[in-house]
Amino acid sequence: MNSKFFYKSSPLLLMMLAAHSTAQAAENQVSTETEKNDNTDQNASTSEQTQTYDVKQTIDASATPYNFETTEIPVKDTTVSTEEPKAEVQSTEVQTEVSSIEAPAQDTTASTEEPKTEAASTEVKTEVSTTEAPAQNLTVSTKEPKTEAASKEVQNEEATTEVPVQNTTTTAEEPETEVQSTEVQTEVPVTEAPAQDTTVSTEEPKTEVQSTEVKTEATSIEEPIEKTTSTTTQVTKTETPVDNTATSEPVKAAEAQPVTAQSVTTTQSEKSTAPTQTLTAQTSSSLLTQKRAVTLQRTAPKTLTLSMSPTTQTRTLAASTSAINSFILSQNYTVPTYKQDFAPDLPKMPYRNGVARPEGVVAHETANPTSTIYGEVAYMKNNWNNAFVHAYVDDNEVIETANTDYLAWGAGPAGNARFIHVELVRVYGKERFAKAINNYADYIATNLHYYDLPVDSAEYDGTGTLWSHKAVSNFLGGTDHADPYGWFQENGYSMDELAELVTLKYNQKVSSLIDGPVVTPPTTVTPPPVVIDQPVAMTPPVVSSTSKMAKIKTTSSPVYASVTDQVAVPAAQKSGLTFYANKKAIYNNKTYYALSDELGTPRGWVESGELIQANRGAEKVTSSKFTINNMIRGIYTVPWGTAAQKVASLSDSINSQFAPSKYVYINSVPYYYGTINNHSGWINGNHLTLLNGLTNIKSVNMMGRTIRTGSTIYTNTNLSSKLPSKIVDKQYYINKQALKGTTKYYQLVDSANKFVGWTDENQLYLRTHQNISTNPAPFAVNMPTAHVYSIPYGGVSQRIKALTNDNQSLFNVTKAEKVGTAIWYKGTLTTSNTTGWVLGKYLTKQSNVFSSMKPVDMMGRTTREGTVIYSDNNLKSPLAVKDIDKQYYLKVLATKGTDQYYQLSDVNNKVIGWAKSTDLYLRNHQTVNWNKTTLYVNKPEAHIYSIPYGGKSQRILPLTKYYNSPFYVVKAEKVGDKVWYKGTLSTTNTIGWILGKYLSSHSVTTVTSPVSLQTALTRQMSLSGSSAPKVVYADSYGRTAVRNATKAEVLAAMTTDTIKNGGVQQYQFLNLNKSQGIAATTLNKLLVNKGILANQGAAFAEASKLYNINEIYLISHALWETGNGTSQLSNGMGYNTSTGQATTYGTKYYNMYGTRAVDNNALNSGIQYAYQQGWNTPAKAIIGGAQYVAQNYFGNKQFTLYEMRWNPANPATHQYATDIKWASKNAMRIADFYRRIELTGLKYLIDQYK
């Protein structure tokens, strides 16, 4: 910190308080060579010159950012070859019609044999003006297509020249299902040399074949383009954003495909779970003159094809040629959660295409070698009227500073109107730089993906979605910056490598939304697609597993190929089938299920409301044997199957034996799978009779408890399987009875109606059971030795809760059952929200009209018109007189139909009666504490009440004559958002309640000014120019501006009588040169996640006591100077006494307040001073630095915010700000610190004018 600020050392205090010093603004600006984001034409000039200031900060905490301009780094490319794809083949055919030259066109044919499923064909055509050579045509043929082919065409024209035409034909033999054709016409630059064709052939693909035909008409250049056709495996659908099309949303693959001279293939083995993602890049020779379009294509499952045009080589992201990108990928870094720190008065102006319509992202770099992310954010918030960006990124944080739906001022008027702007903060070392780049790329990819923009580098042609600041300067103008090239070059990195990493992250985000393939069997005729009104979601679907069976309700129910699709087909004949549902997704606040058939073939996603559903249990092996009974309806391909899924009726197989291999429960019905009469499938268990098992099964309604020595439980009706251990002393419901010989067996189910098993009558204590009709009603516990059980008459192991501490607690009954001769009630114990069963004799009914009661903690006041109060619980006995404007405690809330009633109690806890909620003014209530303390009456217009928030009739004593009288507090309660204190007024011995805002815990010292208020005002108004009193305001454009204050405004701000008792504003008078004695543990609450300052509350507490400095101020000062504990100076450095330089080795020395850290050599000078003072621990630096603060910051005897702003001892001199609300704003900051630790300031200096 430079010595030129010593006189303004108190402004540094105010800088910590995030204020603004206009008088010293010029001295605090650093070189304009730093990267202040461009503000050319961003602040419109007016006829009246406006000086802008920030309303929150005083003096900048970090240097203004700057930039370095450097040269470009060429892209390194790697070619990747993939052999023997195992699944779907994607074929791309490129045809170019141009004027002929001597070299003939070459034809290439890619053949695919026996495709098993759907084949999609995409044709892209580009026509060129012809001269000598005839145009050559391209044909895609498919044998025996089973359905219609849809064709769509998109055209994009550019300049054309003479280029030989290359034809490629892709033929798929015997496709068994639908062929879809899409045609796109695009013109791009090509070369004069003959193109080379490469064919990749794949035999016996197992899934879909997609064919793409591209006709290209383009301007020729001298370098030849190598033409390659490659394949993508396991693809069912591709969504591709098309560059330069007249649409604001991504164009799906069925609508358009981008023209590429080379396509890049992602191949996924059938056994692989990790997709390989490949990027095709340009060579440096073509990058300078040709568009580098990056196109993302959605494929399946979780596989993404990415192509770039024009290009000659391929780059594989999974094994990047970039050393830094490879290192990032190997570390599996986790991106931090994005934070937001918006300046509240930022303007909100739409992009040129409208709100939430950015066209890309500009990658900036701060070019400040000493700043931190917090310093950058703070600087921007102070100076946003000059420039601001949307986000800052370093190795540990991603902080959004502006709403990306609106433009920022970061790269000149042209760039501002188009793009999102993100700044990379400099960090040092390979690990930190790599983490910062990882976060940087993730933020860029996230925003491109969020706004449905593809990854398209603009570095070489000035069109695209990913820009450097240098690209904006080169192609759009309005700025001359070249970041981030300089910083990238210093670290061996480049914009091309950043584009590569952004593309990888973008692909991962897209892939996370892609589900597995949905295949339609060849025999199914797919109806024409219909558009369903399903809005696009801003977040991906939440997918989870499930276990259900489902039937589609109607033939018109929409079926989606992917849950995120906007286009569906009608269910048609699928509505007559039962499907497995193994996966569900929550998307757009709706639930969808993925359906599959008995072969596991996906059949699409259907919204829950369009389905009839049944729960499906786990399939289990069985050895039981059955006979077919006369209830048989058939054997089915799936459990719970429909008539369309019946394999055979089996009507001729009654009494035939059936030995299933497995079974599954659908809801509560078992279905068995096996083979009978050469028919395999599922049979309803009710249509089978167990061999050698229980007979004469019938329904009963009983209860039984297993014996104390343990009962044997069988899990099937042939008694061949049993539980591994006996069940001891447990109660169960009995719903079935059966015979084996002459012995009775009973089926046991638990309280949730879940099957437990069978046991014989000799192993049960049996009781009759009956459901009792009852209305919901409140009861109270009358026996503390009772228990709550999970089932009526439960055993010891079925006890849920002992009622030892719940005597007279409310128990809201919802159900009653009679077991034997005793009545049991099911309900909820309100004190613990425990639900279960209690024996009726242990409960007492509370009301015949209320359906429930529950304890509450509230307060309510009767109305001024009068409130009816009922003295009994059945609302039959109203009090003779309405109760008017009185406050009561509310302890119980009761419900009667749709009405609510509260039980009223007075201050002595005496029950008054019941009142309807609509006849009361309600407030929340909370007992804060029972701490004894002494407070002082600070407002004579207050009263003592008999109850908190009492009415006029509950006032005990006015406090007009008792200003500053001690009030001995014994209890505090919060009513609504106000705290009330109970205590004794010392001067009258009156006991009662006083509202907290009328009491003060602090001591007040009055300081008399040598001049009158009018004299002081006159002196203030005599100041002129930059020293005149100012008002900071927002102009019509939402920008912060400043004007001279009026005399009335200055008077209002100076008058101490109107602000000294104003709650938050009383902190204008807090004596910052007095310790308050706050405990270290309390101070630590302000230091959570504050870097090196975390858990240093003890050091601050000691420093406060030693040098008599307010602890809150001292912490605030340290937080500001250290960037919340993250600065290099605060985190310590070694010191070389020979060179006078800070080092990274040796004993560390710390500086927590920026003491003696001069601006032009802050690190070395700050560490040198720390070394001289022996501050070799953070605590020593906190304590030792506090001494320096005390000696230098309060030397002018201005100890309060008010004195610093107005200097009543000598008005209009040595004032630390010109903003008339400066003290008020900083009082709010100090008050907020106190609020966060739930304390108040104690020691105040009130200035009183003569």
If you ran DSSP here, which 8-state letter would residue 664 be given? E
533 has pLDDT over 80: no
Residue 1212, pLDDT > 70, answer yes
Q: What percentage of residues in the chain have a pLDDT greater than 70? A: 72
Q: Phi-psi bin for 663: left (phi > 0), alpha (psi -120 to 50), beta?
A: beta
Q: How confident is the model at residue 321 (pLDDT cuts 50, 70, 90)?
A: low
Distance in Å from the first CA to the final CA of the chain:
39
> pLDDT (tens digit, 9 = 90+) per residue, 111-120?
333 333 333 3
The enclosing H or E element of 210 equals: strand 209-215
Helices and strands, number each (H, E), in the chain: 19, 67
pLDDT digits (tens, 9 = 90+) for 1115-1172: 988 997 899 999 999 999 999 999 999 999 999 999 998 888 876 788 999 999 999 9
User: Per-residue confidence at 473, pLDDT binned at 50, 70, 90?
Assistant: very high
Q: Contact 119/211 with Cβ under 8 angstroms?
A: yes
Give yes or no for a contact between 316 and 279, defined as CB atoms under 8 angstroms apart: yes
How far apart (Å, rounded) are the C-alpha atoms in residues 799 and 797?
6
CA distance 705 to 554: 48
**Banded pLDDT at 536 (limits 50, 70, 90):** low
Residue 60 pLDDT more than 70? no
One-character DSSP codes across 430-497: HHHHHHHHHHHHHHHHHHHHHTT----B-TTTS-SSEEEHHHHHHHT-S----TTHHHHHHTT--HHH
In this prediction, residue 573 carries a pLDDT of 87
Q: Picking from 64-68, 1006-1010, 1046-1050, 1199-1203, which range would have the lowest pLDDT averaged per residue?
A: 64-68
> At residue 9, does pLDDT exceed 50?
no
Give the CA angle between residues 520, 523, 526 to the nearest 5°: 55
Inform me whether the pLDDT recorded for 499 exceeds 60: yes
Report the pLDDT value the prediction gives residue 693, as an integer from 0 to 100. Answer: 79
The domains located in the chain, with CATH, are: 77-321 (no CATH), 333-499 (3.40.80.10), 535-553+563-615 (2.30.30.170), 773-845 (2.30.30.170), 852-925 (2.30.30.170), 930-1000 (2.30.30.170), 1002-1073+1196-1250 (no CATH), 1080-1193 (no CATH)
pLDDT at 1063 over 60: yes
- What backbone phi and psi angles, to 5 degrees, belong to 838? -130, 140
Cα-to-chain-centroid distance, residue 388: 24
- Max Cα separation, the chain? 117
- Two tokens, residue 181: 């054709």
Query: What is the per-residue pLDDT for 1056?
Result: 86
Residue 91 confidence class, pLDDT cut points 50, 70, 90: very low
pLDDT at 1081: 94
Strand 558-560 and strand 567-570: the pairing is antiparallel
Which range of 115-124, 320-329, 388-397, 514-523 scores highest in mean pLDDT? It is 388-397
Strand partners, 961: none
Q: Closest by alpha carbon to 329, among 446, 435, 445, 433?
A: 435
Angle between helical axes of 9-16 and 1111-1121 (0-180°, round to 10): 90
Q: How high does pLDDT run on average in the chain?
A: 77
Q: What is the pLDDT of residue 1062?
A: 59
1228 burial (CB, 10 Å; 0-12 / 13-18 / 19+) is: middle
What's the CA gap between 779 and 783, in Å, rounded? 12
Q: How confident is the model at residue 1091 (pLDDT cuts 50, 70, 90)?
A: very high
Q: How confident is the model at residue 514 (pLDDT cuts 50, 70, 90)?
A: low
Residues 377-400 have a mean pLDDT of 92
How far apart CA 942 and CA 505 sit, in angstroms, is 63
* pLDDT beyond 60 at 79: no
DSSP 501: H
Highest mean pLDDT among 602-616, 1028-1042, 1177-1191: 602-616
User: Average pLDDT in the 671-693 region?
Assistant: 92
Q: What is residue 193's DSSP assignment? A: S
- How far is residue 726 from each of residues 267, 614, 762, measured CA to CA in Å? 56, 32, 14
- Residue 891 has a pLDDT of 94
pLDDT score of 44 more than 70: no
∠ CA 30-36-38 to the nearest 5 degrees?
140
Measured from the Cβ of residue 928, the count of other Cβ atoms closer than 10 Å reads 14
Q: Which residues contact 69 (CB under 8 A, 6 or more apart)?
A: 470, 481, 482, 483, 485, 486
Per-residue pLDDT at 443 exceeds 80 = yes
Q: What is the pLDDT of residue 320?
A: 61
Locus of tokens 């601050």:
1100
Residue 33 to residues 36, 43, 389, 475, 478, Cα–Cα distance (Å): 8, 20, 18, 22, 16
> Is the pLDDT score of 254 beyond 80?
no
Contact status, residue 704 vs residue 766, Cβ threshold 8 Å: yes
Quickly count: other Cβ atoms within 10 Å of residue 709's Cβ. 9
Which residue has better confidence, 382 or 110? Answer: 382
Return all residues near 616 (Cβ < 8 A) that are at least 6 apart: 547, 548, 549, 580, 639, 664, 665, 666
Q: What is the pLDDT of residue 635?
A: 98
What is the distance between the alpha carbons of residues 635 and 650, in angstroms, rounded to a whole number?
7
Give the list of residues 6+ apart from residue 190 with CB closer than 8 angstroms, or none.
Answer: 96, 98, 163, 216, 218, 219, 220, 221, 225, 261, 310
pLDDT digits (tens, 9 = 90+) for 159-189: 333 333 344 433 333 433 333 433 333 333 3
Specify whether the CB–CB gap between 949 and 923 falls below 8 A.
yes
Which has more pLDDT, 547 or 224?
547
d(CA 1083, CA 1094): 10
919-949: pLDDT as tens digits: 999 999 999 999 998 898 988 889 999 999 9
Please state the rounded mean pLDDT for residues 654-670. 94
Residues 6+ apart with CB under 8 A from 344: none
Q: 672-680 long-range contacts, Cβ below 8 Å, gap at least 24?
A: 672/622, 672/626, 673/619, 673/639, 676/628, 676/635, 676/650, 677/648, 677/650, 677/653, 679/635, 679/647, 679/648, 679/650, 680/635, 680/647
